Amino acid sequence: MPRRIIPLADVSAIPDFSGAATSPSGLLTDTLARPLRDLRISVTDRCNFRCVYCMPREVFDKDYQFLPHAALLSFEEIERLARVFVAHGVEKIRLTGGEPLLRKNIEFLIERLALLRTPEGRPLDLTLTTNGSLLARKAKSLKDAGLSRVTVSLDALDDALFRRMNDADFAVADVLNGIETAQAAGLAPIKVNMVVKRGTNDQEIVPMARHFKGSGAVLRFIEYMDVGASNGWNMSEVLPSVQVVERIDAHFPLEPLEAHTAAETAQRWGYRDGSGEIGVISSVTRAFCDSCTRARLSTEGKLYLCLFAVSGHDLRGLIRSGAGDDEVATAIARIWEARGDRYSQLRGSASAPSRDDARRVEMSYIGG
């Protein structure tokens, strides 16, 4: 069978900053009046897992060419761009990958970002998403560097199933150990994300709820999404979040909880006995585009305005061309002010881009 070649990056032009400068005011909004509040930064395109819905081994095999180190944003470049984004209103930064803990000396980057302050003088909510494989050995150093908390991806408790899904023969026990170590280090509240794929791991919903109920961790169930072009997504494999809630409620009665913020992606449900909560993220069946405040910065410095984007904006080229901070701020402002992305709302409609035509960026390139 011929090997599939999946394009990970588009050819992007350096953003325009000519004309009148735009000074950051912390109040940047897009065409739908959505403010810029969250920035997700991918620090590596590499991962030691080969999850079937993200980096399937038949694409990301031993011959796959990952980005050379010189193409990655340096820590200094990431800090500089983050500083401008914070001036524009970003309050939360999440480090992603690939697997971000594979980036050498990531603690040094965290130390730099932890010193940033919002225009009002508040520290950032600085978080990281990980597959948990290196978390036990890294948790204390991450906390000491200034990381606020972590989110851990875990798609099954059954060890044989989990090993098949990560396709790297990595054990559930090691991820659970990483979660416990991170809790002990103070990286809490920990969120545990489970991508639910009907017919693959949906039988693990109740066991996962049982395991984390009362643990202090917040378990979140994510609908299997049509991100990128490599995972062979099919709507029949999506289990609607409403059914996830029904399954758990049948064993452990739930009640709805109010959202912490208007931009929160997860619907919150609390156990009626007060032993914690779960969340469901329903970007397929219940789009939350209207409240999306997230931008994504790829490993090589492309700015994407939607998880389902086809093209990005080359901020690395901009800063390496010698542009000053004012010019970078102006370019980012113009990009965000022109944003109208709402793919999940349009999915399946005549206005939605065709899956056959769209060359969507891969999740492993810009993070989930």
Which one-letter DSSP state was computed for residue 331?
A: H
Q: CA-to-CA distance for 248 and 150, rounded, in angstroms?
A: 24
> pLDDT tens digits, residue range 1-60?
344 444 444 556 788 777 777 888 888 999 999 999 999 999 999 999 998 878 889 888
Q: Which of 215, 211, 212, 217 is nearest to 188 (CA)?
A: 217
Does residue 365 register a pLDDT over 80? no
The domain that contains 233 carries what CATH number? 3.20.20.70
Q: How many Å is the Cα radius of gyration of the chain?
A: 20
Residue 3 lies inside a defined structural domain of this protein: no
204 lies in some domain: yes
What residues form the annotated binding site?
A: 40, 47, 51, 53-54, 94, 98, 129, 153, 191, 225, 289, 292, 294-296, 306
Share of the chain above pLDDT 70, in %: 87
Residue 343 predicted with pLDDT over 70: no
Q: What is the mean pLDDT of residues 196-206?
A: 95
Q: How far is CA 78 from the centre of its chain?
A: 17
Q: Is residue 142 part of a domain?
A: yes
List binding-site positions for GTP: 40, 94, 129, 191, 294-296
For residue 26, tell me if it sits in a domain: no
Amino acid at 83: R
Q: How many domains does the chain have?
A: 1
Cα 174 to its chain centre, rounded Å, is 22
Across the chain, the runs of DSSP E, i.e. the strands, are 38-42, 92-96, 125-130, 149-153, 191-196, 218-223, 254-257, 267-271, 277-281, 294-297, 302-304, 313-314
Higher pLDDT, 153 or 367: 153
The parent domain of residue 69 ranges over 38-366
Known binding-site residues for [4Fe-4S] cluster equal 47, 51, 54, 289, 292, 306
Neighbours of 100 (CB within 10 A): 27
* Res 262 pLDDT > 90: no
Residue 17 forms part of a structural domain: no
Do residues 133 and 174 lie in contact, with contact meaning Cβ atoms separated by under 8 Å? yes
- Whether residue 11 lies inside any domain: the answer is no
pLDDT digits (tens, 9 = 90+) for 207-245: 999 999 999 999 999 998 765 555 555 777 889 999 999
- CA–CA distance, 78 with 163 (Å, rounded to integer): 34
pLDDT tens-digit series, residues 45-96: 999 999 887 888 988 888 999 999 999 999 999 999 999 999 999 999 999 9
Q: How far apart are CA 167 and CA 133, in angstroms?
A: 13
Computed over every residue of the chain, the mean pLDDT equals: 88
Q: Is pTM, for the whole model, over 0.85?
A: yes
Q: Check residue 322 and give left, alpha or beta (phi > 0: left; psi -120 to 50: alpha).
A: left
Residue positions forming the annotated binding site for S-adenosyl-L-methionine: 53, 98, 153, 225
Reference 334, options 7, 19, 91, 12; nearest CA is 19
Q: Where are the alpha helices (DSSP H) in the chain?
A: 75-87, 106-114, 135-145, 159-166, 172-185, 205-212, 241-251, 315-320, 325-337, 343-346, 363-366
Which DSSP letter does residue 200 get?
A: T
Scan for tokens 């980005």, then name that residue: 67
Q: How confident is the model at residue 348 (pLDDT cuts 50, 70, 90)?
A: low
φ, ψ for residue 22, nearest 5 deg: -115, 110
CA-closest candidate to residue 151, choices 179, 174, 173: 179
pLDDT score at 1: 38
Does 15 fall in a domain?
no
Which tokens sit at 255?
């009640």
| Residue carrying structure tokens 């965290």 | 110
Q: Would 356 be classed as within a structural domain?
A: yes
pLDDT(361) > 70: no
302 close to 367: Cβ distance less than 8 angstroms:
no
Is-contact 230 56, C-beta < 8 A? yes
